[in-house]
């Protein structure tokens, strides 16, 4: 954005004197109020340290010295909750500190919750328990161990594990290929001092405060003014470089003790010079290909051929990556790969049928419109539109989706590159030799 | 009977209810300012149901039929019903549980058309040899997918350890073998037996017009005969109080040992209110002992026996009830011993009055918060209706939970002699 905007859709943008942007979505329809404080930083070797910080912050503050005291106080506030989400937007690492509490007027006797809860939230972010300027060694050691175990336990969820392995293979040594929780090696090399530094570094990162609920703008601004964080660039996170082309796809097969084989196929999508229309048309491509029951993958792989329980496609439009995912019998890998490739080829070479195009239109527009009922979805949606470099309201997104033509979809499908990498977490086959 | 009537409630929601001449119960919850609408139609038929009446004869049905039927109802003479929803931009799905099968859609447009599709496809069975055969392959893949889920496998292993013969010990989807016994004829019979209107509940929540929705529901169901039967009643099964196997161990593709301890509750032949009270109070007790506001939790956490994977929950239905306490740990024996030690200490010292009050507050807040979500409301309305309770009953029960009653639950439910341990050991080295 060149000049500061005052709003994006229904979000009002207000700025504190200190330079923190506050995105406020005022609404009376919810029974809760939501605050989210987001910090963006490059996704690099500090991801593990950053991801560890929320776990240490929740361990104790100057006023509430331990997790027990904090949990009890949150119960007093009728189950007000604090938590953190860790994810990536293109090559950026995002920490989102969430705080949610029930509207006082819906509780017996309208107890006072907001003021003391927000005071606590601020204290958790700014005044955790420290000794000589450092996180407590006990808290650090224990949370480091737990965090390391959490990283290792990602293997237990085989689909999630396989998805991470695919992006590691597709983006070796690059930010996008890094796991958002960091690596065991990173965690092993941390100290209480370096973890504390990761927390202090929040002040130099790109921060933004989001609020959804029946807030008064002035009260919110007063709260935000006490937060010493700054909104700074870059706002545009969409990848603009041409992806490296591949001569032939890489195949990575890792045998494992799983009953169902996880097959993932990664494609790069060329986003260079993309305009808004083409950017939205990409959603049609992914939807027609693997966006639900109606999609080609579901119908071909599961319904016609009975080869999978699930078969879907997901698209990261900011990074330019399309991932196809199927749960199959190990013996069917080649067959399923061929079917997927056939569908991608046909997407590139012909117009989608009127029927599938209309279905995609209906699903995409209603999916976009229905975001307004979920406060978290609204926050993530506005965060996404800012990162895309096409800031606009939900209504404008819906209008753009509605105005799409089949030709737009066929045209943009050519931006989907050749098959880049196949990753297969391969289990035993029940249907024949692999 | 007749047009839905407003049901007063404590959370400032519009709740409308009607029992139609056919016996179908309908709940409507229009929400001002909401864009989406969620519709849920649930049958009181779940994986626990293993028998149907055919004339005077009682027939046993194979494991996994409720789930198989759930899959197959999505197909009729015209093909895949999901596609009719997606043509209108609606999402549809379904799920089978121990005690019910639910079919749902969510949409922003054409609510009435989607309601009509939902009612029609659930009430209209269509099965052929070919479609049943194809579904066997798909469900086999689904079963195998769940076979790779350590939490699901651990849960099922624990149920088999806790229960001798109660069907709660059987996998909801059945097995690759049991689903091969399923035929179109069997599915038609099960549909006839379980999917009559009196055994179904419809709930709609979100940004819809209740009058238009009601008119459509009335029109679609007008042709249905007067109640062919009553709501299905399950018998309390003859299940011993003891556990089947106090300890099971298996190896699995995980990175750290996972342990869970199950406590089996005795069946309660009480009124719906009593059953609800017992369920809520037991869950509050579990929260009081094992959530992060408990000094016991702090002790376990700070000594490294548990971490964030630790979970403690209770599940209480009229037909069965159990609590599960589990998580990942490096020292499963110490984990198990510590949990039993906490229970002994709590029995000896009694519960903390302030703690009970705090847990009550947390529950009240959680209850109100649930009304943000149309899905949560529609799901809760259906569940409550099938259990013959109201949402306000839940509020009453949680507001009146007392230390005395929680202590009674502590002594009677969390007994070592009625517990079983399931331990999953890693089969593979760390990745």
| B272 within domain boundaries | yes
| B235 within domain boundaries | no
| B259 within domain boundaries | yes
CATH number for position B320: 3.30.830.10
Q: B308, A146: Cβ pair inside 8 Å?
A: yes
Report d(CA A11, CA A8) in Å as an integer.
Answer: 5
Q: Residue B234 phi/psi, 5° resolution? A: -95, 140
Q: B361, A292: Cβ pair inside 8 Å?
A: no
Q: Residue B237 — pLDDT band, cuts 50, 70, 90?
A: confident
The shortest CB-CB distance from A68 to any of B134, B149, B292 is to: B292
| B236 within domain boundaries | no
The CA distance from B233 to the nearest CA of chain A, in Å, is: 33
> Mind telling me the catalytic residues of B?
70
Residues in chain A within 8 Å Cβ distance of B391: none
Q: Which of A163-172, A275-284, B93-102, B144-153 has the lowest mean pLDDT?
A: B144-153
Bond before A210 cis per omega within 30 degrees: no
Residues in chain B within 8 Å Cβ distance of A303: 80
Q: B35, A67: Cβ pair inside 8 Å?
A: no
Q: B83, A28: Cβ pair inside 8 Å?
A: no
| Distances, alpha carbon A130 to alpha carbons A16, A37, A226, A301, B423, in Å | 28, 22, 20, 55, 38
Q: Check whether A431 has a pLDDT greater than 70.
A: no
Name the residue among A189, A384, A278, A302 with its Cα closest to residue B82: A302
| B53 within domain boundaries | yes
**pLDDT one-digit tens code per residue, B129-143:** 999 998 998 898 889
**pLDDT one-digit tens code per residue, B37-78:** 999 999 999 999 999 988 889 999 999 999 999 999 999 999
Task: Write out the two tokens for B170.
Answer: 């059987």
Q: A306, B138: Cβ pair inside 8 Å?
A: yes
Q: What is the mean pLDDT of chain A?
A: 94
Report d(CA B357, CA B364) in Å as an integer.
Answer: 11
Contact criterion met (CB below 8 Å) for B35 and B41: no
Report d(CA A148, CA A150) in Å as an integer.
Answer: 5
With an 8 Å Cβ cutoff, is B302 touching chain A?
yes
The shortest CB-CB distance from A359 to any of B87, B253, B361 is to: B87
Q: Residue B1 — pLDDT band, cuts 50, 70, 90?
A: low
Helix (H) or strand (E) holding B58: strand B57-60
Report d(CA B151, CA B162) in Å as an integer.
Answer: 16
| B215 within domain boundaries | yes
Residues B86 and B179 in one domain: yes
Residues B335 and B380 in one domain: yes
Tell me the percentage of chain A whose pLDDT exceeds 90.
Answer: 90
Task: Write out the two tokens for A99.
Answer: 């705080």
Q: B86, A293: Cβ pair inside 8 Å?
A: yes
Residues B277 and B217 in one domain: no
| B132 within domain boundaries | yes
Q: Residue B226 — pLDDT band, cuts 50, 70, 90?
A: low
Residues B142 and B272 in one domain: no
| B96 within domain boundaries | yes
Q: How many CB atoms lie within 10 A of CB A108?
A: 12
Report d(CA B346, CA B343) in Å as an integer.
Answer: 5
Q: Check whether A432 has a pLDDT greater than 60.
A: no
Q: Residue B225 — pLDDT band, cuts 50, 70, 90?
A: confident
Buried b / exposed e over A250-263, threshold 16 CB at 10 Å, is eeeeeebebbbbbb
Name the residue among A298, A303, A369 with its Cα closest to residue A340: A298
Q: How many CB atoms lie within 10 A of CB B268?
A: 18
Q: Residue A1 — pLDDT band, cuts 50, 70, 90?
A: very low
Q: Residue A204 — pLDDT band, cuts 50, 70, 90?
A: very high
Residues B216 and B256 in one domain: no
Q: Which residue of A has its CA nearest to B87?
A: A359
The CA distance from B246 to the nearest CA of chain A, in Å, is: 25
**Total CB pairs under 8 A between chain A and B:** 192
The CA distance from A301 to the nearest CA of chain B, in Å, is: 11
Structural domains in chain B (count): 2
Q: A145, B304: Cβ pair inside 8 Å?
A: yes
Give the domain-ending residue among B171, B187, B221.
Answer: B221
**pLDDT one-digit tens code per residue, B250-279:** 999 999 999 999 999 987 888 999 999 999
Q: Label each residue of A295-359 as H, E or C.
A: CHHHHHHHHHCCCEEEEEEEEECCCCEEEEEEEECHHHHHHHHHHHHHHHHHHHHCCCCHHHHHH
Residues B265 and B314 in one domain: yes
Buried b / exposed e over A206-239, threshold 16 CB at 10 Å, is bbbbbbbbebeeeebbebbeebebbbeeebbbbb
Residues B147 and B268 in one domain: no
Provide the phi-psi class of A27: left if phi over 0, else alpha when psi is between -120 and 50, else beta: beta
Residues B313 and B185 in one domain: no
Residues B211 and B284 in one domain: no
Residue A274: per-residue pLDDT: 94
Distant-in-sequence, close-in-space partners of A207: CB < 8 Å, separation ≥ 6: A20, A37, A38, A39, A40, A227, A229, A230, A231
Buried b / exposed e over B147-157, threshold 16 CB at 10 Å, is bbbbbebbbbb
Residues in chain A within 8 Å Cβ distance of B35: 369-370, 372-373
The shortest CB-CB distance from A78 to any of B309, B364, B427 is to: B364
Q: pLDDT higher for A309 or A356? A: A356
What integer is the mean pLDDT of A144-151? 96
Residues B277 and B330 in one domain: yes
Q: Residue A79 phi/psi, 5° resolution? A: 75, 30
Name the residue among B27, B25, B24 with its Cα closest to residue B16: B27
Task: Write out the two tokens for B98.
Answer: 């121990």
Residues B112 and B174 in one domain: yes
What integer is the mean pLDDT of B290-307? 95
CA dihedral sign, ordered B290, B295, B298, B300: negative
DSSP B237-285: P---SS-S-SEEEEEES-SS-EEEEEEEPPP--S-HHHHHHHHHHHHHH
What is the widest separation between alpha-carbon atoms in chain B? Answer: 65
Q: Residue B327 — pLDDT band, cuts 50, 70, 90?
A: very high
Residues B133 and B172 in one domain: yes
What integer is the mean pLDDT of A197-202? 98
Residues in chain B within 8 Å Cβ distance of A257: 252-253, 427-428
Residues in chain B within 8 Å Cβ distance of A329: 141
Q: Check whether A364 has a pLDDT greater than 60.
A: yes
> Which value does ipTM take for this structure?
0.93
Task: Write out the two tokens for A307.
Answer: 């080869």
Q: At what angle do helices B210-221 and B111-123 cross, to 10 degrees?
A: 30
Provide the phi-psi class of A177: left if phi over 0, else alpha when psi is between -120 and 50, else beta: alpha
Q: Residue A410 — pLDDT band, cuts 50, 70, 90?
A: very high
What integer is the mean pLDDT of B165-192? 95
Question: In the beta sheet, which residues pair with residue B258?
Answer: B328, B424
Name the residue among B121, B65, B66, B60 with its Cα closest to residue B92: B121
SS3 state at A232:
coil
Residue with tokens 């121990």: B98
The shortest CB-CB distance from B371 to any of A31, A71, A153 is to: A31
Task: Write out the two tokens for A212.
Answer: 């959804």
Contact criterion met (CB below 8 Å) for A78 and B365: yes
Residue B141: per-residue pLDDT: 83
**pLDDT one-digit tens code per residue, A228-268:** 999 998 888 888 888 887 889 999 999 998 889 999 999 99
Residue B430: per-residue pLDDT: 57
The CA distance from B118 to the nearest CA of chain A, in Å, is: 16
**pLDDT one-digit tens code per residue, A17-51:** 999 999 999 999 999 999 999 999 999 999 999 99
Give the domain-ending residue among B181, B204, B221.
Answer: B221
Q: What is the mean pLDDT of chain B?
A: 94
Contact criterion met (CB below 8 Å) for B196 and B228: yes
Report d(CA A390, CA A412) in Å as an integer.
Answer: 17
Task: Write out the two tokens for A26.
Answer: 């005022």
| Domain span at B331 | 247-426
Report d(CA A13, CA A235) in Å as an integer.
Answer: 14
What integer is the mean pLDDT of A369-382? 95
Contact criterion met (CB below 8 Å) for A215 and A22: no
Sequence length of chain B is 431
Q: Check whether A323 has a pLDDT greater than 50.
A: yes
């Amino acid at each position: 954005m060149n000049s500061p905007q005052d709003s994006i859709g229904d979000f009002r943008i207000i700025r504190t004197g200190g330079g923190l942007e506050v995105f406020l979505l005022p609404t009376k329809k919810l029974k809760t109020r939501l605050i989210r404080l987001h910090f963006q930083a490059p996704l690099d070797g500090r991801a593990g340290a950053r991801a560890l910080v929320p776990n240490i912050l929740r361990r104790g503050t100057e006023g509430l010295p331990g997790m027990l005291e904090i949990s009890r106080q949150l119960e007093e506030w009728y189950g007000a909750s604090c938590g953190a989400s860790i994810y990536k937007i293109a090559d950026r690492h995002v920490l989102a500190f969430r705080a949610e509490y029930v509207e006082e007027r819906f509780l017996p006797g309208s107890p006072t919750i907001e003021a003391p809860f927000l005071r606590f939230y601020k204290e958790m972010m700014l005044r955790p328990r420290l000794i000589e300027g450092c996180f407590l060694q006990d808290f650090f050691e224990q949370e480091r161990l737990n965090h390391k175990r959490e990283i290792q336990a990602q293997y237990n969820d085989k689909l999630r594990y396989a998805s991470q392995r695919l992006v590691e293979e597709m983006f070796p040594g690059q930010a996008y290929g890094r796991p958002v929780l960091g690596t065991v090696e990173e965690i092993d090399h941390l100290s209480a001092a370096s973890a504390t530094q990761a927390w202090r570094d929040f002040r130099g990162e790109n921060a933004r405060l989001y609020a959804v609920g029946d807030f008064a703008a002035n009260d919110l601004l007063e709260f935000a003014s006490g937060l010493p964080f700054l909104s700074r660039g870059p706002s545009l996170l969409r990848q603009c470089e041409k992806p490296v082309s591949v001569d032939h796809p890489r195949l990575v097969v890792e045998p494992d003790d799983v009953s169902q084989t996880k097959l993932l196929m990664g494609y790069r999508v060329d986003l260079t010079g993309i305009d808004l229309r083409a950017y939205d048309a990409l959603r049609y491509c992914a939807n027609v290909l693997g966006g639900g029951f109606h999609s080609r993958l579901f119908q071909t792989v599961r319904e016609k051929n009975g080869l999978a329980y699930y078969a879907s496609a997901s698209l990261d439009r900011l990074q330019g990556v399309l991932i196809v995912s199927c749960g199959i019998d190990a013996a069917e890998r080649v067959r399923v790969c061929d079917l997927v490739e056939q569908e991608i080829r046909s997407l590139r070479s012909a117009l989608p049928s009127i029927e599938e195009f209309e279905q995609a239109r209906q699903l995409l527009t209603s999916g976009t419109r229905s975001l307004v009922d979920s406060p978290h979805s609204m926050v993530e949606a506005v965060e996404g539109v800012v990162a895309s470099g096409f800031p606009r309201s939900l209504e404008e997104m819906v209008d753009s989706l509605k105005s799409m033509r089949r030709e737009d979809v066929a045209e943009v499908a050519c931006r989907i590159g050749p098959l880049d990498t196949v990753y297969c977490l391969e289990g035993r086959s029940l249907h024949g030799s692999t | 009977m007749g047009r839905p009537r407003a049901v007063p409630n404590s959370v400032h929601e519009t709740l409308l209810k009607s029992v139609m001449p056919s016996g179908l119960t309908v709940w409507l919850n229009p929400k001002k300012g909401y864009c989406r609408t969620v519709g849920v139609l649930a049958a009181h038929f779940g994986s626990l149901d293993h028998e149907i009446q055919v004339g005077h004869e009682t027939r046993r049905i194979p494991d996994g039929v409720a789930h198989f039927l759930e899959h197959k109802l999505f197909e009729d003479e015209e093909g895949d019903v999901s596609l009719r929803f997606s043509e209108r931009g609606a999402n549809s799905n379904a799920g089978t549980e121990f005690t019910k099968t639910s079919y749902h859609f969510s949409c922003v447009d054409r609510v009435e058309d989607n309601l009509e599709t939902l009612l029609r496809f659930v009430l209209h069975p269509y099965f052929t040899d070919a479609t049943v055969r194809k579904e066997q392959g798909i469900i086999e893949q689904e079963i195998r997918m769940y076979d790779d889920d350590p939490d699901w496998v651990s849960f099922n292993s624990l149920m088999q350890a806790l229960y001798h013969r109660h069907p709660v010990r059987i996998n909801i989807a059945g097995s690759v073998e049991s689903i091969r016994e399923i035929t179109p004829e069997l599915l038609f019979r099960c549909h006839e037996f379980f999917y009559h209107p009196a055994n179904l509940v419809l709930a709609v929540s979100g940004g819809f017009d209740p009058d238009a929705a009601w008119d459509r529901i009335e029109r679609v169901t007008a042709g249905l005969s007067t109640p062919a039967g009553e709501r299905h009643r399950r018998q309390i099964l003859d299940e011993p109080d003891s556990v089947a196997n106090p300890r099971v161990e298996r190896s699995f593709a995980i990175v750290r040992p996972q342990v869970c301890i199950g406590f089996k509750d005795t069946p309660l032949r009480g009124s719906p209110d009593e059953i609800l009270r017992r369920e809520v109070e037991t869950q509050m007790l579990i929260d009081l002992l094992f959530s992060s506001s408990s000094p016991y939790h702090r002790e376990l956490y700070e000594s490294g026996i548990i971490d964030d994977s630790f979970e403690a929950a209770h599940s209480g239905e009229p037909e069965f009830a159990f609590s599960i306490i589990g998580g990942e740990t490096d020292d499963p024996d110490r984990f198990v011993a510590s949990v039993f030690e906490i229970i002994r200490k709590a029995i000896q010292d009694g519960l903390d009055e302030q703690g009970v009050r705090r847990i009550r507050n947390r529950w009240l807040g959680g209850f109100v918060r649930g009304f943000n979500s149309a899905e949560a409301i529609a799901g809760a309305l259906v569940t409550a209706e099938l259990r013959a309770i109201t949402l306000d009953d839940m509020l009453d029960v949680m507001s009146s939970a007392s230390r005395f009653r929680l202590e009674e639950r502590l002594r009677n439910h969390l007994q070592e002699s009625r517990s079983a341990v399931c331990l999953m050991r890693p089969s593979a080295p760390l990745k």
